[in-house]
Amino acid sequence: MMPAPENTEDLLPTILGTRAASLGVPENCVPWPLDMNHSGGSTPDQTAKILKSLRKSGEYGQWRWPKRPVVFISDLHADAESLVRSLVAAGVVQRHENDADGFDLTDFGRSCVLVIGGDCLDKGPSNLDLLNSLKKLIETGVRLKLLAGNHDLRLLLGVRALTSDRSPLTEHMFIRMGNKVLPLLREVYDKHVAPANELESVPDLETCRDRIFPSETWQRDFPEAAAEHLGEAAIQKELRRLKKKIATFEEASLSAGLDMRMLYAAAMKCRELFLAPDGLYAWFYDRMRAIYKTGSVLFVHAGLDDHICAEIDENGVSHINQLFREQVYQDPFTFYSGTVANIMRTKYRAVDKQLSSQGVERLHRAGVKILVHGHVNRDRGQRLKTMKGLLHVEADITLDRNSRKIEGLKGIGTGATIILPNGNIVGFSNDFPYAKVFTPEIHMTKAALQHDGT
């Protein structure tokens, strides 16, 4: 375990308080360890790049901090208990029952902004419990910003494609969700389909299978149809991905206790619950946005590309959210392969929309100095990195129990990233012994000294 440095008391956010020990999260903090691979750069060169990014962003004016504390929690993947524990640890709520909605806002919770960074759905253990927890948060009056994640979008686009006119661009969108959506569909079947005996009105098994799976000619027709939207490498990757998912999907569904009729019934019920105007969970997609900015800090699910950077510079963040609301209900494949949806799915791979130093410069010009996001999970708490000169806080700290089991992590995931009006960014997790505190003003001084010494 890394020893705690001295004289860090002034950096310790009071919001962690005495709740920390009982939840397995750190009670003390350290200045963000940039020189460690799990938290920053694995080499002096990587650390130098982070400091250089700080110095470069400083050329476009001073940092502006949010007027209210911002609490960022991302990639919950249907783990309501992880959400509630993280909120308790961050001081946003106090718990009075062990239920998913057995909590009330604290004074800090009433003063802060809560950003849920996307990927609320899939994997398990309980999608519907998590949605109920989020609904309770809305009812408490918390300032909630709900960002779209790629898993959230897959359900929306997959269910819509299942009942739309079939085409080579859309008929694979339901299977594209993959096996990770099966826990959600099983929950919906058990809680909303079976009790109402709605399976009786569902078509026969073969008809359901034909509607769920892409046609036999899809692999031949898709490349030509997708050519105007994707490059050849991305098309081939999509074909390989779908081949694997098609091969395993029905067997995985049966293992989850769902034959194709039951699965189809659950999908149709999802359309009613999530997409109908009066659906029980219609609020989920109604409240969703692509991006949120406060001060110099930008929040997204995954990342950015040059086109989005230019849009932010020219038209502002609200324009991106307007584009998202307009495009998300258009053709599913056109939207998901486009630059707005890239915000929710990029990992800065060659097949993704590209971010360059010119795009970062435009973002700096628009007043953005750091990006806080999920999507790339970490097992030792939050990590700071630089991409083309833009600072990123990777804040997916592997909260859901499904992922934690796969990665060999113990306990229920608990943690959050907090941006404070006093100029500190705090990341804490039950997988790292200290809360990490990043203070750009201090590190910018180091960057300036380093630059003067070169």
* Strands of 251-345, DSSP E: 288-289, 292-294, 297-299
Q: Specify whether 312 is located in the same domain as 373.
A: yes
- Is 396:75 a contact under the CB 8 Å cutoff? yes
Q: What is the pLDDT of residue 392?
A: 96
Tell me: do 322 and 248 sit in the same domain.
no
Question: Is 90 exceeded by the pLDDT of residue 101?
Answer: no
- Verify that 369 and 408 share a domain, yes or no: yes
Say if residue 296 is in the same domain as residue 443. Answer: yes
Say whether both 314 and 442 belong to one domain.
Answer: yes
Supply the range of the domain harboring residue 187.
Answer: 153-282
The pLDDT value recorded for residue 343 is 98
Q: In the prediction, which pLDDT does 180 show?
A: 92
Please provide the average confidence, as pLDDT, over all residues in the chain: 91
Task: With a cut of 70, say whether residue 241 has pLDDT above it.
Answer: yes
pLDDT in tens, 125-134: 999 999 999 9
Q: Is residue 95, in this structure, part of any structural domain at all?
A: yes
Q: Annotate 207-238 with DSSP letters as a single string.
A: HHHHHHSPPTTHHHHHHHHHTTTS-HHHHHHH
* Per-residue pLDDT reduced to its tens digit, 26-44: 988 999 998 888 998 767 7
Q: Which residue has the higher pLDDT, 444 or 149?
A: 149
Please tell me whether residues 431 and 308 are part of one structural domain: yes
Final residue of a structural domain among 282, 316, 345: 282
Residues 63 and 124 in one domain: yes
Does residue 4 form part of some domain?
Answer: no
pLDDT tens column, 409-424 = 999 999 999 999 999 9
Domain stop point among 258, 282, 306: 282
pLDDT band with cut points at 50, 70 and 90 for residue 4: very low
pLDDT of residue 286: 96
Structural domain contains residue 6: no
Prediction pTM value: 0.94
CA 57 to chain centre: 25
Report how far residue 162's alpha carbon sits from residue 230's, in angstroms, rounded to the nearest whole number.
22
Per-residue pLDDT averaged across 330-342, rounded? 90
- Is 318 inside a domain boundary? yes
Residues 349 and 255 in one domain: no
- Give the chain's domain count: 2
Does the residue 2 lie in any domain?
Answer: no
pLDDT at 2 over 50: no
CATH of the domain at 338: 3.60.21
Residues of the chain with pLDDT > 70: what percent?
93
Residue 293 CA to residue 314 CA, distance in Å, equals 15
Q: Is residue 8 assigned to a domain?
A: no
Residues 64 and 162 in one domain: no
pLDDT at 177 over 70: yes
Confidence of residue 20 (pLDDT cuts 50, 70, 90): low
Mean pLDDT on 319-333: 91
DSSP letters along 83-109, please? HHHHHHHHTSEEESSSSTT-EEE-HHH
* Mean pLDDT of the 87-111 span: 91
Please check whether residue 244 lies inside any domain of the structure: yes
Q: Are residues 133 and 260 in the same domain?
A: no
Confidence grade of residue 448 (pLDDT, cut at 50, 70, 90): low
Lowest mean pLDDT among 3-7, 135-139, 312-316, 429-433: 3-7
**Token pair of 11, please?**
């950096």
Give the residues across from 425 on adjacent strands. 419, 438
Does one domain contain both 426 and 302? yes
- Residue 248 pLDDT > 90, yes or no? yes
Q: Report residue 278: phi and psi, to 5°.
A: -105, 20
143, part of any domain: yes
Q: Taking 60 as the threshold, does the pLDDT of residue 93 lie above it?
A: yes
Residue 89 has pLDDT above 70, yes or no: yes
Tens digit of each residue's pLDDT (9 = 90 or more) over 355-413: 999 999 999 999 999 999 999 999 999 999 999 999 999 999 999 999 999 999 999 99
Predicted local confidence at residue 347, as pLDDT: 95
160 token code pair: 């819509």
pLDDT for residue 449: 58
Specify whether 202 is located in the same domain as 91: no
User: What pLDDT score was predicted for residue 361?
Assistant: 96
Domain edge (last residue) among 254, 282, 310: 282
Please give the structure tokens belonging to residue 423. Answer: 């100029």
pLDDT for 189-212, tens place per residue? 999 999 988 898 999 999 999 999
Residue 446: its pLDDT value, please? 61
Q: Which of 155, 156, 335 is nearest to 229 (CA)?
A: 335
How does DSSP assign 248-271, residue by residue?
Answer: HHHHHHHHTT--HHHHHHHHHHHI
Q: Specify the pLDDT at position 312.
A: 98
